[in-house]
Amino acid sequence: MQVLACRARGLDESAECDRFDRLWSLADEELVLDPLAGDSDRLSPGQESAQQPSPPYRAPQPVSLTQAPSHHQPVLPDPRRCRSVFFGVGTYSHLESLPSVPAGLRDLAAALTCPTGPFAAEHSQVLIDPPSATEVLDLVQEASAEAEDTLLLYFSGHGLIDSYSGELSLALPGSRAEAGYTSLQYNWIRRAVLQSRAQRKVVILDCCYSGQAAAGTMGSAEPLPLAGIEGTVLLTAVSSQRMALAPAGEDGVP
């Protein structure tokens, strides 16, 4: 998790590591984590006055994976039953290229694989500049079907919003911003996750407009099904209306 924490710009790396540990512990308890709360999660004006003042903020305490809370015995992921797919695009024909993506994918995959990580190298796939959506989905579908403990899907590259449906698409090397059919619709990734029997499912989208993965389409304000799956964590780089940054000369991914 240290690799992910160091990518959180402007935040304390140690504190972010502690926060990731807590998220992992909560996912192991099969709680629903929704990173983008909807309107129903916010207080109405009449409710605000009835609420007690919030207590002072306290930094989250580190969660040790070797020490069990009194009410729950944490179980470390079994690498033999975990699957992960790291995919992304660094070279585009019609969009701005992102040279840092390939190295970022390899570094993150290496950090999360054995002997120190929860994933076995033979069960982790790194796919850089995939030429077609089919190539990506074949790997994602295979990993989703095989994972029993933890399923991790990570994408780095450009994110696009379909002008007709408002849905998020993941840009491939030949994608064109004005031609939605040239990109990989995120909805297909979501379907694979929905069908997986893995106890824990983690989807990380490191791209522009990635928050749209947890939001509704243009015609609906309801959140799309994924963040509401027990044991599932959806992490996005930005909100549904913002672009992710990839400053030139930095090793981080966008």
Kindly state the tokens that stand for 190: 């979501």
Is cis: bond before 35, omega within 30 of 0? no
pLDDT at position 49 is 44
Overall average pLDDT of the 118-147 stretch: 96
Q: Give the pTM.
A: 0.65
Could you tell me the strand order of the sheet in which 232-236 lies?
A: 124-128, 83-88, 150-156, 200-206, 232-236
Identify which has the larger pLDDT, 7 or 21.
21
The predicted-structure confidence for 6-17, as pLDDT tens digits, reads as follows 665 566 777 777
Please, which pLDDT band fits residue 183 given cuts at 50, 70 and 90? Answer: very high
- Residues 6+ positions from 249 with CB-CB distance below 8 Å: none
Instruction: For 215-235, give one letter per residue: b (16+ CB within 10 A) or e.
Output: bebeeeeebbebbebebbbbb
| Helices 186-195 & 133-146 angle (0-180, nearest 10) | 20
Closest CA to 18 of 50, 54, 64, 72: 64
Instruction: For 46-83, give one letter per residue: b (16+ CB within 10 A) or e.
Output: eeeeeeeeeeeeeeeeebeeeeeeeeeeeeebebebbb
What's phi and psi for 211, nearest 5 deg? -60, -20
Rounded Cα gap, residues 69 and 91, in angstroms: 46
The predicted-structure confidence for 198-250, as pLDDT tens digits, reads as follows 999 999 999 988 887 776 543 344 444 454 455 677 888 654 444 444 444 45
The predicted-structure confidence for 49-77, as pLDDT tens digits, reads as follows 444 554 554 544 544 434 444 455 556 78
